[in-house]
């Protein structure tokens, strides 16, 4: 018998087990998982894994897709159908399938549930344990490579949801030194008190926005002053204007930060002009 997977309520052959391309786990890493070891076909440390699963889900505000008892039954059935005694059970629960948007789908969608079971060769793993293994060291940089346009966007999705709940369109990340790095899905800019355009330098841990780069050219062509220098949220509040850039937002004026007005709370001339210039140039050069 081949391997059997569980996908959203159905047991299906492993080779035919698919999730939708707009599953938020696939698109945004907006999902959690657990892995249980199987000894003699039984779930090891069941309570600990269930407790962590429930905690992870609660942290992401994803509902348990079914009761713990029902989930236990499904996990056991997956094990039984795969006839595995010694192995691993993998469970993944994503926020569900919805058109791509960083913020949570509203109204919420059903969480997507996937379970797979794999066999472990205990003779081989015992032999390895008897010999011991080597390790290497690596800098602790998890979530520290924002320069890569990876789909590991869970922090961005959570930040965007925070913005949405606050009635805002974007969230600006602030680093440990108090400087804005970038938005959840855009780069951040101000026109400071001296009229100088400012955006964070790309030596920082940010995505090298393509719109940002093109806009720098537009700005230079327009003869405006620009500095790739970080700013704080306080400087943004004192700035003449603020805006964000990205393929999705183009150049989008920002009129408030944390509910406080920027530039008198109205769209300023520089951002509007840059939006127009950017669009003109982009249209000319689009292939």
Residues that bind ligand PDD (CB under 6 A): 156, 182, 185-187, 207, 209-212, 245-248
Q: Is the peptide bond before 107 cis (omega within 30 degrees of 0)?
A: yes
Per DSSP bridges, beta strands 241-246 and 4-7 are unpaired
The smaller minimum CB distance to ligand PDD, of residues 122 and 208, is found at 208
Pair of tokens at residue 242: 């603020």
Closest approach, Cβ 225 to ligand PDD, in A, equals 21
Closest approach, Cβ 185 to ligand PDD, in A, equals 4
Per the CB < 8 A criterion, the answer to whether 241 and 195 are in contact is no
Per the CB < 8 A criterion, the answer to whether 37 and 44 are in contact is yes
The smaller minimum CB distance to ligand PDD, of residues 91 and 98, is found at 98
Closest approach, Cβ 9 to ligand PDD, in A, equals 30
List residues bridging with 34 in a β-sheet. 91
Number of Cβ atoms within 10 Å of the Cβ of 11: 15
Closest approach, Cβ 150 to ligand PDD, in A, equals 10
Classify 181 as helix, strand or coil: strand
- Report which DSSP code applies to 88: E
The smaller minimum CB distance to ligand PDD, of residues 56 and 214, is found at 214
Pair of tokens at residue 180: 């804005």
Q: Is 149 a catalytic residue?
A: yes
Question: Phi and psi (nearest 5°) for 56?
Answer: -60, -45
Closest approach, Cβ 279 to ligand PDD, in A, equals 14
Q: What is the rounded CA–CA span in Å between residue 80 and residue 73?
A: 10
Say which of 149, 162, 225, 260 is annotated catalytic.
149
Residues labelled catalytic: 149
């Amino acid at each position: 018998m081949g391997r059997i997977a569980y996908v959203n309520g159905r047991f299906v052959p492993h080779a035919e087990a698919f999730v939708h391309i707009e599953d938020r786990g696939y698109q945004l890493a907006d999902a959690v998982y657990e892995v249980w070891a199987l000894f003699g076909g039984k779930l090891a440390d069941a309570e600990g894994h269930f407790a962590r699963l429930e905690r992870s889900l609660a942290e992401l505000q994803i509902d348990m897709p079914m009761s713990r008892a029902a989930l236990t039954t499904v996990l056991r059935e997956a094990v039984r159908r795969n006839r595995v005694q010694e192995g691993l059970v993998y469970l993944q629960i994503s926020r569900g399938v919805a058109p791509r948007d960083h913020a949570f789908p509203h109204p919420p969608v059903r969480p997507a549930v996937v379970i797979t079971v794999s066999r472990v060769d205990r003779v081989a793993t015992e032999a390895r344990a008897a010999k011991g293994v080597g390790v290497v060291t690596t800098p602790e940089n998890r979530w520290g490579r924002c320069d890569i346009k990876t789909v590991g966007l869970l922090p961005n999705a959570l930040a965007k949801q925070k913005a949405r709940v606050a009635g805002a369109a974007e969230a600006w990340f602030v680093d440990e030194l108090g400087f804005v790095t970038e938005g959840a899905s855009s780069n951040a800019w101000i026109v400071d008190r001296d009229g100088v355009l400012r955006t964070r330098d790309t030596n920082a841990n940010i995505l090298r926005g393509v719109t940002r780069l093109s806009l720098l050219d537009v700005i230079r062509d327009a003869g405006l002053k620009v500095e790739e220098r970080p700013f704080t949220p306080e400087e943004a509040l004192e700035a003449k204007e603020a805006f964000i850039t990205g393929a999705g937002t183009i150049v989008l004026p920002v009129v408030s930060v944390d509910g406080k007005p920027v530039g008198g709370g109205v769209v300023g001339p520089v951002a509007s002009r840059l939006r127009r210039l950017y669009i003109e140039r982009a249209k000319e050069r689009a292939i």
